[in-house]
């Protein structure tokens, strides 16, 4: 397995296609949630992902560093391919994302918009709820901060 961190402009066409396909496989097909995944935010994000030895994308997260207009960093679109779930890869993905953002923006908190059923997963990384539950695309979410 190999890990990559790319800006939007650094992604190859193949990598872009694979990350969009994996996001759709998980969020649209598996979760039966039709929503606009190509939301216009990919160009401002950095893309952290793992590829298997046979070059299949198997883990992904979208990262945003804190900046002048946003006082916190964000992690979004966190997912692993169905074939690698329950292997610890999701935890490795989150730890890598956190480590990267803390290196780049050490004084900024990190936020996630967590699906409620994954609340404990994020709590295990030190995230705490910072608001009430809300529906996003029909799925219960809660904002969390570390």
Instruction: Give the model confidence (pLDDT) of 119-135 as tens digits.
Output: 999 999 999 999 999 99
Which residues have C-beta within 8 Å of that of residue 79, sequence separation ≥ 6? Answer: 22, 23, 26, 27, 59, 60, 61, 90
Q: Please report whether residue 56 resides in a domain.
A: yes
Task: Residue 9: give the domain boundaries.
Answer: 2-111
CA atoms within 13 A on the CB side of 66: 16
Summarize pLDDT for 58-69 with one digit per residue, the tens: 999 999 999 988
Q: Is residue 41 part of a domain?
A: yes
The residues facing 48 across adjacent strands are 5, 61
Q: Are 121 and 79 in contact (CB under 8 A)?
A: no
Q: What is the pTM of this model?
A: 0.93
108 close to 95: Cβ distance less than 8 angstroms? no
pLDDT digits (tens, 9 = 90+) for 83-110: 999 999 999 999 999 999 999 998 999 9
128 within some domain: no
| Residue 12's CATH number | 3.40.630.30
């Amino acid at each position: 397995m190999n890990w990559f961190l790319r800006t939007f402009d650094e992604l190859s066409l193949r990598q872009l296609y694979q990350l969009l396909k994996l996001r759709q496989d998980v969020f649209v097909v598996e979760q039966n949630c039709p929503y606009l995944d190509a939301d216009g935010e990919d160009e401002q994000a950095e893309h952290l992902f793992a590829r298997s030895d046979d070059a299949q994308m198997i883990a992904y997260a979208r990262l945003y560093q804190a900046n002048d207009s946003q006082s916190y960093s964000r992690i979004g679109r966190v997912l692993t391919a169905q074939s690698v779930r329950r292997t610890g890869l999701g935890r490795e993905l989150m730890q890598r994302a956190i480590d990267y953002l803390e290196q780049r923006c050490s004084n900024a908190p990190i936020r996630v918009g967590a699906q409620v059923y994954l609340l404990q997963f994020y709590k295990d990384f030190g995230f705490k709820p910072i608001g009430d539950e809300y529906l996003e695309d029909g799925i219960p979410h809660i904002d969390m901060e570390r």
